[in-house]
Amino acid sequence: MAKPKVFVTRLIPEQGLAIVRDFCEADVWPEELPLAREVILERVKGVDGILSLLTDKIDDDVMDAAEPGLRVISNYAVGFDNVDVGAATRRGIPVGNTPGVLTDTTADFAFALLMAAARRVVEGDNFTRAGKWKTWGPMLLLGQDITRATLGIIGFGRIGKGMAKRAQGFDMRVLYYDPFCEDDPYAAQVGARSIDLDSLLRESDFVSVHTPLIGETYHLINADTLSKMKPTAILINTARGPVVDPEALYHALKEGGISFAALDVTEPEPIRMDHPLLTLENLIITPHIASASVATRGKMAQMAAENLIAGLQGERLPNCVNPEVYERAQA
Ligand code: DGY
């Protein structure tokens, strides 16, 4: 029997790619950079499944180009704001993602950014390499304490909870804001307290963003919300770039509205090299690598492959973001 045809939009770790190649006739985009829009529209023609990355916009046009055979979209990420899930659902196409396996790796990285920002690790390294280290200095590169400081977590999903758990080890006071789980039982286990957003912004020494990108969270961190933060506060974003308004952040950092920011995600990605944020010293930017450990990226690849193959076999995806497609099929 002919193997199902799939398009994989980039090389992913062998742990997943081997499974895909075994089961499917796979067209894998081999380049390092994401493919142009026209290319994706061309390459998906006649496929049964798409394994996409967060850099690929999978919308109605892509689904139109692939239909009528398209049976599954498997996104190699926990976030799926790059996929028009509504459009997929209307067509009865299940969309898969990779939750869980990247929680610890991402929370580790968010905490690493918090610590690097608070203790000026990147500035210290630059200072040393620039030959400026002449002596031990009583006032040299003074940072902020983490132990017993207040951490405000925006979004108390898996990764937000992971941050709260890590903060316990530093005796931090942990506040969280999440309108979808105000009374989360996990909060008591990690000593976190639910609070409204304004109070969280006013009281936190560190504010860490862990929300998905949806209409309500677009530019949630803006001139108004930044103005409510302490002038000494540090902002960490490992969620999605557009949750933070980059122009407002630039002004807050430049004018002393907040003291430091550490971003793993930006709007747009990659950040333009002439963006004013890059002129600031009180900012760390990393290239969307919070989930980038060898083990985690391998597990994500395996999960994405399993979602893809389940969809091709007409089975329920192990991790499906639009389970309504199954309810409709049963009705
Ligand atoms: C995700 O999976 O959504 C992450 O942003 C990838 O690092």
Amino acid 189: pLDDT: 96
Edge-to-edge, what's the strand order for the sheet holding 173-177? Answer: 192-194, 173-177, 150-154, 206-209, 234-237, 260-263, 283-285
CA distance 220 to 223: 9
Instruction: With beta carbons less than 8 A apart as the criterion, state whether 270 and 245 touch.
Output: no
Residues in the chain: 331
Q: For ligand 1, atom 2, which residue shows the shortest CA distance?
A: 77
CA distance 138 to 128: 16
Using the predicted structure, report yes or no on whether residue 110 has a pLDDT greater than 80: yes
Ligand 1 proximal residues by C-beta, below 6 Å: 54, 77-79, 102, 290-291
Told to judge if 251 belongs to the known catalytic residues of this protein, a careful annotator would answer no
Told to judge if 240 belongs to the known catalytic residues of this protein, a careful annotator would answer yes
Give per-residue pLDDT as tens, 181-194. Answer: 989 999 999 999 99
**Tokens 């499974």 belong to residue:** 19
What are the distances in angstroms from CA 223 to CA 27, 109, 246? 45, 26, 10
How many angstroms separate the alpha carbon of residue 77 from the centre of ligand 1? 5
Amino acid 330: pLDDT: 67
How many angstroms separate the alpha carbon of residue 99 from the centre of ligand 1? 9
CA distance 69 to 87: 15
How many angstroms separate the alpha carbon of residue 130 from the centre of ligand 1? 34
> What is the average pLDDT across 107-136?
98
Amino acid 1: pLDDT: 81
Using the predicted structure, report yes or no on whether residue 331 has a pLDDT greater than 80: no
Give per-residue pLDDT as tens, 4-34. Answer: 999 999 999 999 999 999 999 999 999 999 9
Which secondary-structure segment (H or E) carries 151?
Answer: strand 150-154
User: pTM value?
Assistant: 0.96
DSSP per residue over 245-268, as a string? -HHHHHHHHHTTSSSEEEES--SS
Q: What is the mean pLDDT of the chain?
A: 97
Select which of 42, 269, 281, 315 is catalytic: 269
Please give the structure tokens belonging to residue 76: 């190699």
* Residues above pLDDT 90, as percent of the chain: 97
Which secondary-structure segment (H or E) carries 8?
Answer: strand 5-8
User: Residue 184: which residues within 8 A CB-CB, separation 6 or more?
Assistant: 156, 161, 176, 178, 194
- Hey, what amino acid is at 128? T
The C-alpha angle 218, 212, 246, rounded to 5 degrees, equals 40
CA-based radius of gyration for the chain:
22
pLDDT band per the 50, 70, 90 thresholds, residue 199:
very high
Using the predicted structure, report yes or no on whether residue 328 has a pLDDT greater than 80: no
Angle between helices 103-118 and 158-168 (to 10 degrees): 50
How many angstroms separate the alpha carbon of residue 131 from the centre of ligand 1? 37
Instruction: With beta carbons less than 8 A apart as the criterion, state whether 325 and 89 touch.
Output: yes
**Tokens 């979602």 belong to residue:** 307
Told to judge if 288 belongs to the known catalytic residues of this protein, a careful annotator would answer yes
> What is the average pLDDT across 83-104?
98
